[in-house]
Structure 1
Amino acid sequence: MNRALKRRQQKLANSRSSRSGHAVDPHAPVMAQAAEHYRTGNGSAAVAACRSILAKDPDHAHANHLLGIIAMQQKNFDQAIGHLTRATAAMPEDAAMLTHLGTALSYAGRLDAAMESLKAALQVDPDFIDACNNMAALCMRRNDPRGAISHYQKALAINDRVAEVHANLANALLATGQVDDAISHYRSALAIRPRFPEAEYGLGQALRDNGDMAEAVAHYTIALDQNRNHANAMASLAFVTDELEESMHSRIRNTHKLAAAGSEERKLLSFALGKHEERMGDFERAAELFTEGNAIHRASLTFSAEDTAAQLRRIATIFDRDFLAAHSGFGVSTAAPIFIVGMPRSGTTLVEQILASHPQVSGGGELTHFPATVFAALKRLDPTGFPDAASKLGAADVQQIARDYLAALDATITATPYFTDKLPGNFLMVGMIRLVFPHARIIHCTRDARDTCLSMFKIFFPSGGHHFSYDLRELTEYHRNYTALMQHWKSLFGDDIIEANYETIVSDPEPAIRALLGQCGLDFDPRCLDFHATRRVVRTASAAQVRRPIYTSSIGAWKNYAPYLPGLAEAG
């Protein structure tokens, strides 16, 4: 028994009602009955026993604690927070109560308050593994996987035989591109608990990112053997395999039919089933399914198309010729970064895979370091941040951004003369890229707007972002605003922005790839033609496609959907 558990049991033995004033809790026998009811699965009896205690002592810590746990399991988070707040007020140094309160606050979306409660739990008991694990989960919700890794590692240092912690750490490692380490921890989780469908699914995702498609499919299949209704595994199978067996198709169709309307499972299965119906040539049914999946996810988002359009116009207003003249010469001399920008699904992953196949180029993948570094630097100058605070940048600020960005990449980029930084959304940052790295290459990937929008509309992006893509009208409007901003950058920087057109590359690869390499200052290398054979981590929706030779079947795909998704034509 570890020290933390001993302390909690001793505290329970000596606990007192905050209102009764007795050295020994007079409600202890009823509380023990409530705990036994809960342990044996009789939740209603546990609730009744706790309520009988609260009728006499509303601030009873342990009764409120158990009611809070039960309410949280029933997804009644406001009620859970109420009970757990009373519990922690009565026993402010109980790590378990503080941890459960933090977890309920996190589920309710009150992330800052959740962070404070979990910090308090760890201050009370730094070795409380649940607090470490839940703090890590909160970091993941706050899009801080590196922070999560630290807390999961601490949890494993306390007890390395908890399968869930290994799997959760693997998820965080995968989110930061540490695929080999993620695979190791998924396998550790499965060694501890052989029947663990979430770890099987996660291992499949990691193997997919590593290019081991056959093995990835095998682990998705195991996950489905262990959990017949594993929606994520079904969706992943649908997107990494060219064909599904009829039995799997039937299973996806039946599970989709039974999934609750508007649920997460229904959403994932709508995308998966839509992909299969597309392969079968039923584009009308596929369109219905993609529309359903998108609508479910859009309902969960807070997104303003008007605010987003205004932001893009504001960027163009600030980064004009006068701004560039006033900040000329502020940047650094290195030409190492090759920034790849454009709309998602416009060929950015294909272009990066081609370049990363060159011996002088290291493939960085989807890096968020540049915008993160810029946003932090501008926030320090002015609370308005990006883009308005850019006018306050001095030469020293710009050079510090360059140093911070390059330092953040030291541990992840192979030592080659050049490296790719592929983040489609960096089209917003072209002005800052030119300011900080005036000699860096910027490649703008273009594709038929209708095919681009269709390709986005057919995919759910589990890593988040791209909130504009889940409503066809908002998606086509965003594409028009993106086009206008890219035209602005082109008017400022001309041919310094290298155009890489998807249709041109896949229709006649060799001359297009030779031209692209030449514009990047690279000699032709035949390995760039065989990019699909290059072994590297690819963590995007295109992970399966770039493992295959070039194909042209997706050119003009929008025409199949034109009768059923008439809004697509507005993107062109």
Structure 2
Amino acid sequence: MAIPPPPRRPQGGTLTARYQAALSALNSGRIDAARTAFTALAKERPNQPEIEFQLSRVAHLSGDFAARAAHLERALAAKPDEPALLDAATAAFAAAGNPDAALAAYDRTIAAAPSKIKPRADKALYLQQIGRFDAAEAIFRDLLRRHPREGSLYRMFFAAQKISADDPLLPELRKTLKSPKTPDEARSQGYFALAKALFDQGAGAKAFEALHKGNRLQRKMAPYDDAARRSEQLSIRAAQEGADLAPVGDAVEPYPVFVTGMPRSGTTLAEQIIAAHSRGTAGGELAHALKLVWDGFVKNGQMAPLRKIPDAQIAELARAYRARARRDTGAQAGVFTDKSIQNHLIYGFLARALPGAKFIVIHRDPRDIALSIYRNHFATGTHRYGNDLADIASAIKDFRASVKYWKGRLGEQLVEFRYEDLVRSPEPEARRMIAAAGLDWEEGCLNFHESTAAVKTLSIAQVRQPIHAGRAAAWTKFEAELAPFIEAWGDTPWD
């Protein structure tokens, strides 16, 4: 999360100067110096909320989730209604695996702004993420009773809840969709919500009618150029052509495991299997690697050739990536997963910068991927190809071409899996996956669904269930509706 601005700092002569010097050290990335300085200040001025807040930032950047939460708890004890502290504490308690403390912080935020929708919706989403669906439902229904024209609330609630045909929310949703006062964004999200409800009721044809409307609205708000996307991806690949991919430096734990696939291909399932290992940590979509490469090596729209980048700059890329990953995952040893979808574009940079990195690719029947992408709402402006079935076919083909290219470059360092094999033969495939992550097998890796940890994914309900094969071949029920995708796919093999 973004670090909120610090609350008011301590006042008074030398103490203020020392606080400022410590803050300067922290903001310039000198973590050890900042820790030493703020710790000394905390001994002289115990339980000062401003100092505790800054120590929480130090702990956050160090990946120490427990210390981060403890510092914020002390800060809140002194300033229980400080908005910046509440926001930071909510995220810290959730990351530290303390849902009761996180929910209490949500409640205090809600109490401070009882008329605002967002704090209540955020709490409901968190309840979904930790598997407390009944409590989330109660909040969403109350919110929708008060705000029946908020299309996003329907979409968030319906995503993790089966909606029956006689649910009283459906007439209100249809009123929202018909109202000329409903903005395009709310209307688009409302159509995705309606489609989800209709799928729940077995009304697939009507669900697709709603999906077409929702996707058209998103495409209107976020236009898409398929040729431009392909050209950019090919230029990124070309910048890595001919480069030596031998890693720079020594392998350092924790090692990254890049779990890559198209959206809705099964990457979350793979991540949960690895994270269920005693030496595994789920990182989710960290979204750091491509940004660091882009910020560091792209100038005037052109990416510097990897073969010409000095080892010192590659080492800095590794340092920056590991620092962000440590901050966001808390992993200190073993492995952590990063399932950022665009990582496959820069496998060359990642292999060179991160000794010990593993690359796992998840494939799935393209028809199931297309169905799931088209029927799920992604934040407007992301995955723009997902609003058109023919464009989805093009994106999947390009992803496959990218994986084929990198398999030729990385060899055994890149291990491919099929989602269908994983759900039909869970144990042997999970064993192979754990080995690909560089770990020894543990029986608990198949019991990920028993975890109470928060999971941020569109598959929010599915990750609370054991692996089962019923999730495969869903496309067969909607072959007619998927005709534009199937036609665009052409004669390319499905597997």
Give the one of 352, 373, 377 matched to 1:460: 377
CA distance in 2, matches of 1:275, 1:356: 29
SS of 2:369's equivalent in the other structure is helix
CA distance in 1, matches of 2:381, 2:353: 28
CA distance in 2, matches of 1:434, 1:467: 28
Partner amino acid for 2:252? T
- CA radius of gyration, larger in: 1
1:343-358 to 2 correspondence within 5 Å?
343-358=262-277
- The equivalent of 1:314 in structure 2 is 235
Give the one of 206, 214, 220 matched to 1:293: 214
CA contact (8 A) 2:90 2:106 kept: no
Say whether residues 1:216 and 2:136 are aligned partners. yes
- The equivalent of 1:396 in structure 2 is 312
CA contact (8 A) 1:367 1:423 kept: yes
- Percent of pairs with identical residues: 27
CA contact (8 A) 1:338 1:443 kept: yes
Say whether residues 1:482 and 2:378 are aligned partners. no
Once the two structures are TM-superposed, the CA of residue 477 in structure 1 deviates from its matched residue by: 0.9
CA distance in 2, matches of 1:548, 1:188: 32
CA distance in 2, matches of 1:462, 1:561: 25
Q: Structure 1's 331 and 314: CA in aligned 2 closer, same or farther, altered over 3 A?
A: farther
Give the one of 225, 228, 231 matched to 1:304: 225
Partner amino acid for 1:269? G
CA contact (8 A) 1:316 1:488 kept: no
- The equivalent of 2:286 in structure 1 is 367
Say whether residues 1:470 and 2:387 are aligned partners. yes
CA contact (8 A) 1:238 1:275 kept: yes
How far does the alpha carbon of each residue in 1:93-113 deviate from its partner, in whole angstroms, 9 at most, with x for none?
Answer: xxxxxxxxxxxxxxxxxxxxx
How far does the alpha carbon of each residue in 1:111-155 deviate from its partner, in whole angstroms, 9 at most, with x for none?
Answer: xxxxxxxxxxxxxxxxxxxxxxxxxxxxxxxxxxxxxxxxxxxxx
SS of 2:468's equivalent in the other structure is coil
Say whether residues 1:192 and 2:112 are aligned partners. yes
Q: Structure 1's 452 and 422: CA in aligned 2 closer, same or farther, altered over 3 A?
A: same
| Backbone CA RMSD of aligned residues | 2.9
1:110-125 to 2 correspondence within 5 Å?
none
Give the one of 248, 252, 255 matched to 1:334: 252
Say whether residues 1:252 and 2:252 are aligned partners. no
CA contact (8 A) 2:260 2:267 kept: yes
Once the two structures are TM-superposed, the CA of residue 535 in structure 1 deviates from its matched residue by: 2.5
Q: Structure 1's 562 and 262: CA in aligned 2 closer, same or farther, altered over 3 A?
A: farther
- The equivalent of 2:453 in structure 1 is 536
Aligned residues: 406
CA distance in 2, matches of 1:508, 1:171: 41
CA contact (8 A) 1:204 1:215 kept: yes
Give the one of 468, 471, 478 matched to 1:554: 471
SS of 2:467's equivalent in the other structure is coil
Partner amino acid for 2:322? L
SS of 1:568's equivalent in the other structure is helix
Give the one of 427, 437, 453 matched to 2:354: 437
CA distance in 1, matches of 2:418, 2:472: 12
CA distance in 1, matches of 2:251, 2:272: 26
CA distance in 2, matches of 1:185, 1:464: 31
- The equivalent of 2:160 in structure 1 is 240
Q: Structure 1's 196 and 260: CA in aligned 2 closer, same or farther, altered over 3 A?
A: closer
SS of 1:419's equivalent in the other structure is strand
More displaced stretch, 361-370 vs 229-238: 229-238
1:38-437 to 2 correspondence within 5 Å?
169=87, 183=103, 185-244=105-164, 246-258=167-179, 263-320=184-241, 322-324=242-244, 328-334=246-252, 336-379=255-298, 382-386=299-303, 388-412=304-328, 413-437=330-354
Partner amino acid for 1:554? R
Q: Structure 1's 563 and 398: CA in aligned 2 closer, same or farther, altered over 3 A?
A: same
Q: Structure 1's 360 and 563: CA in aligned 2 closer, same or farther, altered over 3 A?
A: same
Give the one of 517, 520, 523 matched to 2:434: 517
CA contact (8 A) 1:532 1:548 kept: yes
CA distance in 2, matches of 1:547, 1:445: 20
CA distance in 1, matches of 2:183, 2:296: 40
Give the one of 421, 437, 440 matched to 1:504: 421
- The equivalent of 1:567 in structure 2 is 484
Q: TM-score, normalised by structure 1?
A: 0.65
How far does the alpha carbon of each residue in 1:516-557 deviate from its partner, in whole angstroms, 9 at most, with x for none?
Answer: 112223222222111111222322212222122223333222
CA contact (8 A) 2:162 2:197 kept: no
Partner amino acid for 2:188? K
Q: Structure 1's 491 and 305: CA in aligned 2 closer, same or farther, altered over 3 A?
A: same
CA contact (8 A) 1:363 1:420 kept: yes
CA distance in 2, matches of 1:399, 1:313: 25
CA contact (8 A) 2:285 2:338 kept: yes
Once the two structures are TM-superposed, the CA of residue 391 in structure 1 deviates from its matched residue by: 3.8
How far does the alpha carbon of each residue in 1:50-102 deviate from its partner, in whole angstroms, 9 at most, with x for none?
Answer: xxxxxxxxxxxxxxxxxxxxxxxxxxxxxxxxxxxxxxxxxxxxxxxxxxxxx
- The equivalent of 1:127 in structure 2 is none
More displaced stretch, 435-444 vs 207-216: 207-216
Q: Structure 1's 249 and 553: CA in aligned 2 closer, same or farther, altered over 3 A?
A: farther
CA contact (8 A) 1:533 1:547 kept: yes
How far does the alpha carbon of each residue in 1:221-264 deviate from its partner, in whole angstroms, 9 at most, with x for none?
Answer: 22112222332221122110134452233333343333657722
CA distance in 2, matches of 1:178, 1:392: 42
CA distance in 1, matches of 2:204, 2:460: 24
Partner amino acid for 1:279? D
Once the two structures are TM-superposed, the CA of residue 182 in structure 1 deviates from its matched residue by: 6.8
Once the two structures are TM-superposed, the CA of residue 496 in structure 1 deviates from its matched residue by: 1.6
More displaced stretch, 204-213 vs 355-364: 204-213
Once the two structures are TM-superposed, the CA of residue 172 in structure 1 deviates from its matched residue by: 10
Q: Structure 1's 385 and 401: CA in aligned 2 closer, same or farther, altered over 3 A?
A: farther
Once the two structures are TM-superposed, the CA of residue 345 in structure 1 deviates from its matched residue by: 0.7
